[in-house]
Structure 1
Amino acid sequence: MQATESDLALSWLVRQTNLTAEDFEALMLEVSAKKAFGLLIRQDQGDRLGGLDLDLLQTGLKNVTESLEKLLLGGFAPRLPAPSSEAAYNLVLDVEMAVNGFREAAAIPNLRSAQSGAIAVCEAAETLAKRYMAEGVEAIAGWLGARAEQANWQRALAAEAFGAAAAEIPGALSEATLQFEAVHGRLHDEIIPERQDLLEVWQEIDLAWASFKIQMEGQSVAAMSSALSELDVVLASSVPMFGMKDVPNPPTAPWMFAAMYGALGVTLTFCGCAGCYMFHRSRRQKVDDPYADGANYA
């Protein structure tokens, strides 16, 4: 009997051991594409989904389908591990089911069902991303998976802002903008002085986000899409940086100050005592020597 796609995935799953932080980050990045897709097209605008034409919608579905295959079976160029556990594999199947449900609703088209289907894609993808983050944190000491997930989450929020801007829905755009900037601000607050490299990455995101916001105020969807692509590249490259462990400079303990000043005090006391000793010794030599003052009665 020929092995099914599910059988192949599960057989590979048995061999999944020793995944690195980079592996879990790659999985989270891949999953976020589904979340971003769902947020992008879930807005309802008359006879169009999210202000997107059907060609763009079909292109998005094609990309998501290819991405699902990589999540199920893994990939080599670029490297992407297969699901890290059976629980993760089952969650990938949930994402696949949600995408298929959206595809069927959009084909009718039933706009209300399609919108609900897009929300289901978002929720399934978010659950899977959190699963990968939790497994990575448990398996890899020092990996800041929660912070890496927050950095990655900005990609989906940026896509949601784009969908709202393209659909010309001010309320949704305002909400997505506030959510993005809240996450962006929290990440800034977590940067310690020793991580200037991370601060520079954060500033690059800040500039790309500012450029994207300017384009969202215009009327050109193409310009918005281009700015979003540039922002997404910066955001994706930042995820590993935010996942790195912070190593702050060790604080100077109070006992070190006490020891230092104590040693300095002993040194000064010794110098003072030595000075006094030399002075008294010199005076005593002058008293004991009858010719010390230069008088000579010979």
Structure 2
Amino acid sequence: MTEPSLALERFYEGQSETCEEFALSVDEWMLLMTETTRLGGLAQSFARAFARWERMQTTAEQESFEAQRGELTSSLERLMLGSDQPPLPVQPSQELFRRMAEVVQPAVAALRGATSLAEAISRMGALEDVMKALLQTYADEVLKQEPSFPAQRVQVAMWQSVLAQTAYKEALLATYKLTGTSDMQSTMNQFETAQIQLKDGGGPVPRAIMLERRDLLTQWEAVQLSWARFKGVLIQGSSQLDMEAALQDLLADLDAAAALFAIPDVRATDTAPWVFAAAYGTTGCLVLACCGAGIMIARAKLRNERASRQAQDPTKV
């Protein structure tokens, strides 16, 4: 058990009146951010399962719905208490733990306790706001440790997975004739706007992808292709199997993109031709000077040796 987990255990057993605070690494903060967006996505999965159960009323759909309800609880518990598998640190301060208990947990409980799909959907907005605020808090904590951390674009990149799952939920509701397609189209527009901002800058993203970050540009393009396929199956009203498969492909590309967006940019040193000319010219002069000095030293040594031989035997030149 990790030391932070032991500290929580001491707190619960009354051996400590406060939760001890621990410093997290940037990677550990990133794990918390990832689980936060995962919880946001699970809320959308929960609503989809609710919709299928209400429509079909089968045992299989009820079991799927209950499984999604359990996943919501499990994700919340991981965020609050940490986890060994998958690895996740506990909340590193009493303030954050209290926030989880007093703000996040009630929002999740309200969604889990919904007795109808309409009630669940009406409660999802509040949970989304809570998760976005928590994501912002974690990003701010990373910035305190690592000022070069690209917090704004990481948050946008991570939230894309929630938007993708929201679009899937809205497509399913439209397929069941429970809503029109306007909500789905609005979410798609949000996703595509965020993609443009991630590439070219704008909105919360302060700058475009650097030309030097070919890795990032390549992964951004991969997301674009996955999104085009996913969007196509949603608009066409394809089978749920096709929608689910396209979603999983997109989520995999989004996860990879978010990890790359989290790597701080390092601008390359100036490589203009005159810089190369100056650098290589200077290096060349140094090499020539060293060679010239070596020749002069060698010649001086030969003169000294010749003078020494002549002093010993005047007949030798």
Q: TM-score, normalised by structure 2?
A: 0.70
Once residues 8 and 28 of structure 2 are traced to their aligned partners in structure 1, the CA distance between those partners, rounded to angstroms, is: 25
Aligned position for 1:200:
218
Once residues 224 and 54 of structure 2 are traced to their aligned partners in structure 1, the CA distance between those partners, rounded to angstroms, is: 31
Q: Is the 8 A contact 2:46 2:69 kept in 1?
A: no
Aligned position for 1:158:
164
| Equivalent of residue 108 in structure 2, options 99, 117, 134 | 99
Q: Which moved more, 1:200-209 or 1:86-95?
A: 86-95
Q: Which moved more, 1:131-140 or 1:148-157?
A: 131-140
2:149 matches 1:131:
no
Aligned position for 1:233:
252
What's the C-alpha RMSD, in Å, of the aligned pairs?
3.4
Residue 232 (structure 1) shift: 1.1
Q: Deviations over 1:9-55 (max 9, x none)?
A: 997952521x2222111111101122223345669979949xxx544
Aligned position for 1:276:
none
Residue 143 (structure 1) shift: 1.5
Q: Is the 8 A contact 1:25 1:239 kept in 2?
A: no
State how 1:38-117 maps to structure 2 within 5 Å. Answer: 38-39=43-44, 48=54, 54-93=62-101, 94-106=103-115, 109=116, 111-117=117-123
Q: Deviations over 1:241-268 (max 9, x none)?
A: 1011111223479xx78x96xx99xxxx
- What amino acid is aligned across from residue 156 of structure 2 in structure 1? Q
Q: Is the 8 A contact 1:105 1:114 kept in 2?
A: yes
Q: Is the 8 A contact 1:16 1:82 kept in 2?
A: no
Once residues 249 and 84 of structure 1 are traced to their aligned partners in structure 2, the CA distance between those partners, rounded to angstroms, is: 36
Once residues 60 and 46 of structure 1 are traced to their aligned partners in structure 2, the CA distance between those partners, rounded to angstroms, is: 12
2:238 matches 1:219:
yes
CA gap 1:6/1:135 in 2 versus in 1, 3 angstroms? farther
State how 1:12-27 maps to structure 2 within 5 Å. Answer: 14-17=20-23, 19-27=24-32
Once residues 4 and 39 of structure 1 are traced to their aligned partners in structure 2, the CA distance between those partners, rounded to angstroms, is: 30
CA gap 1:166/1:250 in 2 versus in 1, 3 angstroms? same
Q: Is the 8 A contact 1:9 1:72 kept in 2?
A: no
Residue 119 (structure 1) shift: 1.9
Describe the SS at the equivalent of 2:77.
helix
Q: Deviations over 1:34-83 (max 9, x none)?
A: 2223345669979949xxx5444322211111111111111122321111
Q: Deviations over 1:72-124 (max 9, x none)?
A: 11112232111133332233222211111122223xx3x44322222222122
Once residues 136 and 229 of structure 2 are traced to their aligned partners in structure 1, the CA distance between those partners, rounded to angstroms, is: 29
Q: Is the 8 A contact 2:157 2:257 kept in 1?
A: yes
Q: TM-score, normalised by structure 1?
A: 0.74
- What amino acid is aligned across from residue 197 of structure 2 in structure 1? R
Once residues 224 and 102 of structure 1 are traced to their aligned partners in structure 2, the CA distance between those partners, rounded to angstroms, is: 24
The percentage of aligned residue pairs carrying the same residue is 27
- What amino acid is aligned across from residue 256 of structure 2 in structure 1? S
Structure 1 stretches of 4+ moved >4 Å: 3-6, 8-13, 39-49
Once residues 78 and 46 of structure 1 are traced to their aligned partners in structure 2, the CA distance between those partners, rounded to angstroms, is: 29
CA gap 1:54/1:122 in 2 versus in 1, 3 angstroms? farther
Aligned position for 1:245:
264
CA gap 1:22/1:4 in 2 versus in 1, 3 angstroms? closer
Point out the structure with max Rg over C-alpha.
1
Describe the SS at the equivalent of 2:264.
coil
Q: Is the 8 A contact 2:230 2:247 kept in 1?
A: yes
The number of residue pairs the alignment matches comes to: 253
Once residues 10 and 154 of structure 2 are traced to their aligned partners in structure 1, the CA distance between those partners, rounded to angstroms, is: 29
Aligned position for 1:37:
42
Aligned position for 2:315:
none
Describe the SS at the equivalent of 1:80.
coil
- What amino acid is aligned across from residue 140 of structure 1 in structure 2? E
Aligned position for 2:287:
none
CA gap 1:9/1:38 in 2 versus in 1, 3 angstroms? farther
Describe the SS at the equivalent of 1:76.
coil
- What amino acid is aligned across from residue 99 of structure 1 in structure 2? V
- The answer for unaligned runs of 5 or more in structure 2 is 1-6, 56-60, 175-179, 201-207, 283-317
Q: Which moved more, 1:219-228 or 1:188-197?
A: 219-228
